[in-house]
Amino acid sequence: MGETDPQDENVALTEQHGGAEAAHAEPTAFGLDASGWVALAMIAVFALMLWKKVPAAIGRALDKKIAGIREQLDEAAQLRAEAEAIKAEYEAKAAQAGAEAELMLERARHEADAIVAQANTDSAALIERRTRMAEDKIGAAEGAAVAEVRAKAASAAAAAAATLIAQEHDAAADRAMVDETIAGLGAGATH
C-alpha cells in the first residue's frame, strides 16, 4: 500500500484548488472573456460600417434596383398600352372588313337577283319571239301549202277542163267558139 494511484492524486489536487470548475476557468484579457470580445468585435464592425456609410450605399443600391424595376414596369405598361392599341386597331379593321364583306355580299345578292330577273325577262321575250317566229313559219307554211294546193287544184282543173273540152268539142266547135269570142271582143271595143 505504499504506492498511490496517480488518478487519486489528480482528484486531490483538483479538490484543493476549488474543484472541477476552478480547473477549467475561462481565460480573460483586459477583463473581458470570449463572449465579451465577440460583442466588442461586432460593435466595432457595426461602427466601421456606419463610419464608411455602408447602409447608405446599400440604400443607394436598393434605390437603383427599385428605379430599374420601375423603368421595366413603365416600359412593360407602355408596351401593353401599345399592344392594346394595336389590338383595338386590328379589331376595328376586322369589324370594318366584316361590314365590307357583308355589304359586298348584299350587293352580290342584289346583282344576282337583278341578273335572274333580267334573265327571266329575256327568256320570256325570247320565248315570245320564237313563238311568233314559229307561228309565222307555220302561217307561211300554211300559205305555201294552200297556194300549192290551189296551184295543184288549178292545174288539175285545167287538165280536167282540157280533157273535157277535147272530148266534147271538135274542130268545128272550136272555130265557132273562137269566132264568138272574137265577136264579143269586137263588140266590147265599140262600146
| Within-domain flag for 71 | yes
Digit-coded pLDDT (tens) for 51-94: 777 777 788 889 999 999 999 999 999 999 999 999 999 999 99
The pTM assigned to this predicted structure is 0.35
Under a CB-based contact definition with an 8 Å cutoff, are residues 70 and 78 in contact?
no
Q: Tally the domains of the chain.
A: 2
Range of the domain at 132: 53-185
116 and 141 inside one domain: yes
Asked whether residue 121 is domain-assigned, the answer is: yes
**Helix 54-168 to helix 34-51 angle, to the nearest 10 degrees?**
60
Which backbone phi and psi does 52 adopt, to 5 degrees? -85, 5
- For 15-55, how does the pLDDT look when each residue is reduced to its tens digit (9 = 90+)? 555 544 555 667 777 777 888 888 888 998 888 877 777 77
What's the distance, CA 186 to chain centroid?
Answer: 103
Is 124 in the same domain as 104? yes
Together in a domain, 12 and 57: no
Alpha-carbon gap, residue 154 to 138, rounded angstroms: 23
What pLDDT, on a 0 to 100 scale, did the predictor assign at position 78? 95
pLDDT recorded at residue 1: 46
